[in-house]
Amino acid sequence: MSVPQKAAVKSEPDVACKPKPLYANFSANASRSEIYDFYQEELKRRETNKNKEERPIIDEEDDEGDEETQCTAKGEDWYWQDSSEEEEAPASAEPSGLRNFTYKKHDISQLAHAVKMMERAVVQNIHGDITDDFLYFEDPADEFRGEKGTLLPLWKFQYDKAKGLSVTALCWSTEYNDLFAVGLGSYGYTHEDRVGMLLFYTRKMHTYPEFIFNTDSGVMCIDIHKQLSHLVAVGLNNGCVAVYSLLEKSKQPIYKSTASAGKHKGPVMQVKWQEDHLDSNHNFISVSADGRVGSWTLREHELVFTDIIKLPATDKVPDDLKDVIATAGTSLDVHKQYDCFFLVASQSGTIYKGSKFISSTFLEEYDAHFLMSVKCVRWNPFYSNVFVSCGLDWMVKIWDERIKSPVFTFDLRADVTDVAWAPYSSTVFAAITTDRKVHVFDLSVNKYEALCQQIVVSRKKRPVKIEFNPVHPIIIVGDDRGHVISLKLSPNLRKKPKDKKGHELPSGPEVEIAKMEQLLSLVR
């Protein structure tokens, strides 16, 4: 029996059930030159993309988001699209009041300089009368007023972005005597400290600041370097210090200290530039509310901090807490002749004279303002042994550094927030009080009362800082609303000393020193 052979069934080859695929043709040429060109295009495209990201685009155009098209069933081409349609955002012109241009393809920043000049010219034309007053007005009524003088209000400097900030520091530039710096911050508690600003105004254009720097913490003090007027040291509310250079295009400080260990733990109340070290590194000293006086040196890429001295704790503090509770320093001034001596004023009412090189103790102590905070202390610009101090005990006191008690005392009936010597006379100084008045004294004319007591700010504001212009007879007063006003001193406040014959003596530092010497000898 034969087993029927099963017929070999050839299984049919698998017929694919998927749809027949679509085909397309594609052709290209691959050569060195083509490859090179394509790479160049790609690099260029990446450059412009990077630039576009960095510079703020004023006109929001349709973005080039259609570069990456989704692959459609038709097999759309996917390649980097040529960016010939992009709008270029040119470098924004120096901010001026006329900022709302729409930026088109052409770079408008070349107009910036011309526009700035125009703006200045227009502002000076509109307010020409103020400039005339500043230059020529000498109050004729002074003749009939006896010794008294007045202050003539000139320009008002306001910046609308500075709302809610108080003026905390003023500083004139020595090289450009129409330029001054205003520091804006807050005198409140640390948690209220949000932002700060550093503005530079020139009296030639009072409507808008020349330079604007925003800081992340309130500015508490400023000092402009005497020789290199582009270097500005700034102390901030969070204990950091920064050095700005006005030559830099970017609005960032060239040096900034970080809040790391060993630095100031409280708001920096005063900074003062010092003579360069022997290795020609710039340096400045600072005092802060944590009671330490330190020196900062500008090295290559960093700010180096060295402790100079710490303010001693007050007697009220119990012994075991003496290291912890600091006496806040409120003001600092460097001796005009000997750079290494400085005066520090403390919140406990004492003024200390110290030396940069002695870190264990102070050289002298002056019980200045009976347990109330000393607001400001300044050396006399001519007679280098004399300094003035003002405090919240309503007093302004003149001291000779060799004598423990004040030489002159003035009671101004209200908290005195700032005092400044006049740069043209060794016996003239001005003080501002919280009752909105400026008091100007001239000790060679009247040893007991002010020659001028004038209200300078409106009712809701309080003056906070005062500075004399180094050259012109004007003062600037900053108030707690962020406004600065400038006032011109009337002739009676700028009297030159007369010699025996009644002629005016030539004004020079020796004359001023002699004047002061005479005054002091009278009192002793």
Partner 1 sequence: MAETGDGKKEDADYKRLQSFPLIRHTDMAEEMRVETMELCVTACEKFASNNENAAKMIKESMDKKFGSSWHVVIGEGFGFEVTHEVKNLLYMFFGGSLAVCVWKCS
Contacts with partner 1, residue ranges (CB under 8 A): 21-32, 35-36, 38-39, 42-43, 71, 73-79
| Closest distance of CB 290 from partner 1, Å | 52
| Closest distance of CB 305 from partner 1, Å | 43
Is the distance from CB of 336 to CB of 284 less than 8 angstroms? no
Could you give phi then psi for residue 494, rounded to 5 degrees? -120, 30
In sequence order, what DSSP letters do the residues of 212-269 get, joined into one string? EEEESS-EEEEEE-SS-TTEEEEEETTS-EEEEETT-SSSS-SEE--S-TTS--S-EE
| Closest distance of CB 72 from partner 1, Å | 9
In sequence order, what DSSP letters do the residues of 413-438 get, joined into one string? SS-EEEEEE-SS-TTEEEEEETTSEE
| Closest distance of CB 62 from partner 1, Å | 24
Q: From the CA atom positions of the chain, what is the Rg in Å?
A: 34
| Closest distance of CB 13 from partner 1, Å | 14
Q: Closer to partner 1 by CB, 16 or 261: give it.
A: 16
304 CB neighbour count, 10 Å cutoff: 13
Q: Closer to partner 1 by CB, 82 or 302: give it.
A: 82
Q: Closer to partner 1 by CB, 73 or 247: give it.
A: 73
Instruction: Name, in order, each residue with C-beta under 8 angstroms of 319's C-beta and a sequence gap of 6 or more.
Output: none
Is the distance from CB of 468 to CB of 420 less than 8 angstroms? yes
Q: Closer to partner 1 by CB, 38 or 338: give it.
A: 38
Distance in angstroms (rounded) separating the CA atoms of residues 275 and 292: 20
The interaxial angle of helices 112-126 and 128-136, nearest 10 deg, is 70
Distance in angstroms (rounded) separating the CA atoms of residues 209 and 46: 37
| Closest distance of CB 76 from partner 1, Å | 7
| Closest distance of CB 192 from partner 1, Å | 51
Of 308, 258, 252, 266, residue with least CA distance to 284: 308
Q: Closer to partner 1 by CB, 26 or 189: give it.
A: 26
| Closest distance of CB 14 from partner 1, Å | 14
Instruction: Name, in order, each residue with C-beta under 8 angstroms of 59's C-beta and a sequence gap of 6 or more.
Output: 87, 102, 103
Distance in angstroms (rounded) separating the CA atoms of residues 197 and 185: 7
Distance in angstroms (rounded) separating the CA atoms of residues 136 and 138: 6
| Closest distance of CB 55 from partner 1, Å | 24
Q: Closer to partner 1 by CB, 79 or 448: give it.
A: 79
Structure-token pair, residue 388: 């003035």
Q: Closer to partner 1 by CB, 44 or 498: give it.
A: 44
| Closest distance of CB 68 from partner 1, Å | 9
Structure-token pair, residue 82: 């040529």
Judge residue 153's burial from the number of C-beta atoms within 10 Å of its C-beta, 0-12 exposed, 13-18 middle, 19 or more buried. middle
Structure-token pair, residue 422: 């006049």
Q: Closer to partner 1 by CB, 30 or 278: give it.
A: 30
CA 222 to centroid of chain Cα atoms: 5
Structure-token pair, residue 125: 């034309």
Q: Closer to partner 1 by CB, 42 or 107: give it.
A: 42
Of 201, 300, 217, residue with least CA distance to 264: 217
Is the distance from CB of 332 to CB of 379 less than 8 angstroms? no
Q: Closer to partner 1 by CB, 76 or 300: give it.
A: 76
Q: Which residue has the tokens 């006032």?
A: 487
| Closest distance of CB 43 from partner 1, Å | 7
Q: Closer to partner 1 by CB, 9 or 73: give it.
A: 73
| Closest distance of CB 80 from partner 1, Å | 8
Instruction: Name, in order, each residue with C-beta under 8 angstroms of 322's C-beta and a sequence gap of 6 or more.
Output: 313
Q: Closer to partner 1 by CB, 32 or 501: give it.
A: 32
